[in-house]
Amino acid sequence: IRRQRQMCIRDRDQQKMRLIVQRVLCASTKIAGEVVGKIGRGLVILISFHKGDTKADAEWMAQKALRARLWQDIKTKKPWNSNVIQNKFEALFVHQPIYACDISSAEVPLEEEKEISALFGACMSMAQKTHSKDKVTAAPFGKQVELDIIGDGPVTLVLKPAGKDQDEGEDKKEKQSFILD
């Protein structure tokens, strides 16, 4: 049991950020019942950061989420061949700190709010550069929000940086790809 616990701790320390990407018909965030963020058709992107994540990781993951081909191509009718940008849909980013939690020990990570806020900001800046400022929005960082989603599909992906689950001795994949769980 001790060895399993040590492996759990080691694995948790080696985790990288993850994004849960859900295709939606519409979504909104509320604080105390008041709508503070709202999108039409597009993506809701829940993001958690982990120790060791970098600004480059955050920017790269934002681009990957927005470029994921989750819709039918309008011209060719080929399924899974167009993304949120091509379709001029919207994206709503929500910081999800509990996704970084190790439930085996009921331990909630104590994140450095300043560092995490900077990573979330870098992610949002890149998303707005990649798509468009008026098509990308975020729930207020660090606030308790209600999230209303009407799913489209269902289509839900978990994105994480390549190489996250590989052992030290294995060759690392280039960051030009992403892994889908």
Give yes or no for residue 75 having a pLDDT over 70: yes
- Distance (Å, rounded) from C-alpha 43 to C-alpha 92? 6
Beta strands 90-95 and 42-48 are parallel
Q: In this predicted model, what pLDDT tens digit does every residue of 83-139 receive, in sequence order?
A: 999 999 999 999 987 665 556 665 555 557 788 889 999 999 999 999 999 999 999
pTM of the model as a whole: 0.79
The pLDDT assigned to 168 comes to: 39
User: Helix H segments across the chain?
Assistant: 2-13, 55-67, 113-130
Output the six-digit token pair for 27. Answer: 């979504």
Looking at per-residue pLDDT, the higher value among 143 and 171 belongs to 143
Residue 72 CB partners (closer than 8 Å, separation 6+): 78, 79, 80, 81, 82
Q: What integer pLDDT is reported at residue 16 of this predicted model?
A: 75
**Separation CA 94–CA 107 (nearest Å):** 21
Instruction: Please give the structure tokens belonging to residue 111.
Output: 């994140």
Query: What is the predicted pLDDT for the residue at 43?
Result: 98
The SS3 assignment for 136 reads strand
Q: Residues with Cβ < 8 Å from 115, sequence gap 6 or more?
A: 49
3-state helix, strand, coil in the chain (%, to 5): 30, 35, 40
Tally Cβ neighbours within 10 Å of residue 177: 10
Structure tokens that stand for 137 in this block: 């929005």
